[in-house]
Amino acid sequence: MVHTERIISELESFLSSYSEGLTKLSIRFFHKDIPNVLLEAIAVWPRLQYLTLHIGFNSMPLRAPQPFQALTHLHMSCANLSFFSSLLHSISETDSGTSGFPNLEKIYTIALNCGPTGIWSELLTILTRTGLGHISIIEKCSNSEPEPCSTGPTFFELRPFLARRTTLVNIKTLLIFPAHYGAIILTDADVHTLARACPHLYSVSLGNHNSPVSLGALGYIVRRCRELCEISLRVDARLDALGTILLDDDEQMYLQPNRRLRMLAIEGSPIACVGPLNPPTAPDLMMSIPRFLHMIAPRLAKLEISLESRLGWTRRRYSLREMKKMDDIQRWKKVGRVLLELTKGDT
């Protein structure tokens, strides 16, 4: 489709004949932006529930009154997350008394390039104003070279997203995947807050880009969110990093074994005997860790432990550092074998 004003005008005229009854729309211009005139026309359709599109510079700003009132599912691609943030800003800053997306349940967004530093913090803050049930945001990077992107690495906290806990109660899916140089600053306290705020979590994935948290934090979210079926989280399983947050009796009553968890991804998680104890006298982590995992999730039989594809992007520059991670991988494989035997023993 040639992206011309004539074709856009004809398309707008064609779509207008379906505006009252159409509930699903997927519109693409071969990765070209949807023009602002079309986006504003679509935004006021009264029954539109499912929308797939690509937004960019030519799509903004959105000035339609009370946009996307019936929309429940939004699947979007964009050049970078700045455009997604701009769309959410445009909707939240409409002059009408009714905000946009009042019925939105699911957002699935893919950014094709790295965004500017700070965009993740800005975006997560905006998302706290929604009552979404499913959030999936994936940031890709067009730079296939070993050198860092021109925007530089992105470090951001999950804390702004957790600031308004009452808006997170409906969340079942949370997938936050920054580009390969991104890192999520995460603490045990953040994991506890997430588990309390989102009791109905089904799937959590931070793309294994988070700063490692303790096994205690992993155990907390797995047992507190008993509908949880899959989780991707970096943990620190070294001997001196088994820290936990003390819980009172009221908290303990919420923690029960999770019998639904089937997938645990721990790529890049450190595991070793470190600290004052020498390996000959240290506890056997290859046995104690699988027993711990079996206790919190009795039906968990497999760990996802392979290095993610970003290893291929950094191999030439970081080959020695990555080779050191092979020891961790072998340890986790042993943990996985023991865990499988424990699970089989219960069947």
pLDDT in tens, 235-287: 988 775 555 555 665 667 678 999 999 999 988 888 876 555 455 555 667 78
Residue 105: what pLDDT?
93
Q: How far is CA 279 from CA 275, 325, 330, in A?
A: 10, 18, 16
Residue 145: what pLDDT?
52
Burial class (CB in 10 A: 0-12, 13-18, 19+), 312: exposed
Measured distance CA(198)–CA(24) in Å, rounded: 29
Higher-pLDDT residue of 182 and 214 is: 214
pLDDT reading at 96 higher than 50:
no
CA dihedral 46, 67, 124, 29 (to 10 degrees): 80
215-241 per-position pLDDT tens digit = 989 999 999 999 999 999 999 887 755
Question: Residue for token digits 């945001």?
Answer: 137
Higher-pLDDT residue of 54 and 324 is: 54
pLDDT reading at 97 higher than 60:
no
- The pTM for the full model equals 0.85
φ, ψ of residue 173 to 5 degrees: the values are: -125, 130
Higher-pLDDT residue of 118 and 299 is: 299
Measured distance CA(259)–CA(58) in Å, rounded: 48
Q: How far is CA 148 from the centre of its chain?
A: 22
6-61 per-position pLDDT tens digit = 666 667 676 776 677 889 988 876 557 888 888 888 888 889 999 999 998 888 88
Which residues are within 8 A (CB) of 344 and not within 5 positions of it... i.e. 6 or more apart? Answer: 301
pLDDT band, very low/low/confident/very high, at 297 (cuts 50, 70, 90): very high
Rounded to 10°, the helix 285-296/215-224 angle is: 20
Residue 95: what pLDDT?
46
Higher-pLDDT residue of 314 and 210 is: 210
DSSP assignments along 145-196, one per residue: SSSPPTT---EEESHHHHS-GGGGTT--EEEEE--TT-EEE--HHHHHHHHH
Contact 104, 71 (CB under 8 A): yes
Measured distance CA(339)–CA(300) in Å, rounded: 8
The beta strand positions in 34-153, using DSSP E, are 50-55, 73-78, 106-111, 134-139
Residue 114: what pLDDT?
85
